[in-house]
Structure 1
């Protein structure tokens, strides 16, 4: 049997990624809802539909600084206004003079009424006098105090915001599953909502394992590897919206690892480990967490998935509370790809967010690439919108294992299990990454 045939046979024994993800995500449930003060709700996902208890605006109000008047008075249809010669250069050759009978600010609360030929000086946000149906902007007048001359006539309703014009009472403001953004917080507050029921942000604990690991702030030496994974995964979990906690480095000590995970179940909704998922002599996480005890299977099942990079993934629960655990490979590139395809959807599901997967697009491939047969590959790439519509995608050098490529990428090129070569000019799937630059 040839080497290629051996590789294909080995790939056929792997679990398809879609099947594996489905089996894992079906075991997870969104966290129980919480009633939170509005100031704490930002960044969470609504657990219930939210309906406006009050209208917005709550009352008829001025939208601009100016003079609240009756339109028939300034349009010439009423009997009250007096006409005076217009200043030089004023269109129409005449202005309208109205008596200013008072001032209204945003804090005014006493109801007032307009009489023919009169107006009120109003600030934006002030309640409108009864019978007012137009606000003349200040710059269209001589800004008089006892009487005002109006040089331009706005249309009826200009500068006026009616009660409930934007959001009548009873309006569905947001459905369950909606992300609470700053703008949505403003909408809730404006309609009189002080609390909302949300799914809490998942508490995610990240643990790096391995005797070879040392903390950041130094260079790697033979027999030592700087722990990049726990820092990167903590940042990745925070980017999804989780409350992320980096525990640090745990040595390959069975009792130490068991004790650490047991302790973390008290403050975690999800635990992510990195390292030790393979079958090599130093892969202790797989040995420890999958070990059968008392005839029972271990708490975590490790599966060889048709994924490139990083085929070995683990999932299960630990502790009396059965806190979910995701076990990712130790290679930094494989760990970050594993987070994208497994841990990130798990966090989204716990948070009640939809969809749980990143958005994807179809893109025009700019360079021919090869891929290992039988594995679904996720490769760092740069995605750009074409001027005439659609997208192009440029694979980044170094393949999926390069940290520099992942740092530069704004997308992940996805090559399916049956793809061994994707030619330049073909159309491929690309996951869009969050990149704020």
Structure 2
């Protein structure tokens, strides 16, 4: 949640991209840690180091189906001169009472079973006759023809050094080792490790809950029939997907009509499940830009600093922006422009870092690099504006995709990077070096 109030400035102030982003990241605070069961913690960030309570594996065990033997008893064994050993019993995975392997003896052992006392190594069943008294056995044939628990004799046709096919105690991690460090994002491998060392729960910062809603009476749910003057609502789908990609639990509300009261009621209803709210559309200067009207009355008069500040940024696309907090819990809200490219670029620059900050991550930004610009003509940019153009990055080069229009969704779908044109640059020439924001 946010604990600091966002900055405000005069209505004529033109905010830079860095000023706006800095205001967001200064205001938004990481969510409070909670204890979660392992599967519920997937995608969350650890808030404490995790120490291994028990070594992995906790005991010496076999990595193969075969026979546990003493090294001296199979030294020099070959196809021509096999070592004949007495089979004294079986050792299965999970078995607690272990037989002892003495000189001239062998114990049939299964994968994962503890190495019995006296045994020093394991010979795979494929290196033996499977206890059948004949030639070398092969895999399933040996196991299927040798009855479980049957005693008798096994012939070993190959020598094995000490510790062969044995997973020794603590060979993965030892008791007292640090398994995971605070700040780790828990993915499937990390959850596997936590389970393997016996942790049923873990203390993490939860994934933030992000509510996305779009505004506009012209918007129609995909799958429905369009009437004249209507378009499909793509922004709420794009931003919800982007929020999930950033690590959030995202809820898509969908399109709200251009009515301030309806929008205000919808926002207030959604606050109960939001750590962050994102709106798209209605932040410009048009007659039907209802987000400003609706949010102006959501601010809590008894809570200093609540409310939304609507701003103009020195960037293209995405000049109109809104940021602040609403509701009793000071839930952060970012109001993005309604053009599809403008809203997506704004999300990547401002909303994604806010989500990552709520998660407690230290690296909240998309990676950046430099690339050689490959284009047919110079890329022009308005003076004093930082422009973000869609591009395709590969092998150190970036190529513009589509034009500068903020409605070009098809071009955005082909892009995997944003080409950054600084405020003091009015044209980027082909062959020059450009800064690139990598998307995905």
Note if contact 1:307-1:376 (Cα within 8 Å) is conserved in structure 2.
yes
* Aligned position for 2:67: 67
Q: CA deviation at 1:355?
A: 1.3
Note if contact 2:300-2:327 (Cα within 8 Å) is conserved in structure 1.
no
1:427 matched to 2:433? The reply is: yes
**How many Å separate the matches in 1 of 2:29 and 2:181?**
19
Equivalence map 1:244-283=2 (5 Å): 244-283=250-289
Instruction: Note the aligned Cα RMSD (angstroms).
Output: 2.3
Match of 1:151 among 130, 146, 157: 157
Segments of 5+ residues of structure 1 without an aligned counterpart are: 1-11, 77-82, 88-92, 386-390
Give 3-state SS (helix, strand or coil) of 1:30's partner. coil
Q: Deviations over 1:17-48 (max 9, x none)?
A: 12211111111111111111112221222122
Note if contact 2:47-2:204 (Cα within 8 Å) is conserved in structure 1.
yes
Note if contact 2:306-2:326 (Cα within 8 Å) is conserved in structure 1.
no
* Aligned position for 2:388: 378
Equivalence map 1:160-179=2 (5 Å): 160-179=166-185
Distance 1:294 1:169, change over 3 A: closer
1:199 matched to 2:209? The reply is: no
Note if contact 2:300-2:326 (Cα within 8 Å) is conserved in structure 1.
no
Q: CA deviation at 1:400?
A: 6.0
Q: CA deviation at 1:297?
A: 7.5
**How many Å separate the matches in 2 of 1:234 and 1:171?**
39
**How many Å separate the matches in 1 of 2:257 and 2:105?**
83
Match of 1:103 among 81, 90, 99: 90
**How many Å separate the matches in 1 of 2:336 and 2:28?**
18
Note if contact 1:276-1:283 (Cα within 8 Å) is conserved in structure 2.
yes
**How many Å separate the matches in 2 of 1:424 and 1:144?**
75
Match of 1:132 among 108, 111, 119: 119
Give 3-state SS (helix, strand or coil) of 2:273's partner. coil
Give 3-state SS (helix, strand or coil) of 2:341's partner. helix
Q: CA deviation at 1:107?
A: 2.2
Distance 1:107 1:297, change over 3 A: closer
Match of 2:400 among 375, 384, 395: 395
Give 3-state SS (helix, strand or coil) of 1:333's partner. helix
Q: CA deviation at 1:253?
A: 2.3
Q: CA deviation at 1:337?
A: 0.8
Segments of 5+ residues of structure 2 without an aligned counterpart are: 1-11, 133-151
Q: CA deviation at 1:294?
A: 7.2
Q: How many residues align?
A: 405
**How many Å separate the matches in 2 of 1:392 and 1:133?**
57
Q: CA deviation at 1:421?
A: 2.2
Q: CA deviation at 1:220?
A: 5.2
Note if contact 1:95-1:149 (Cα within 8 Å) is conserved in structure 2.
yes
**How many Å separate the matches in 1 of 2:271 and 2:153?**
73
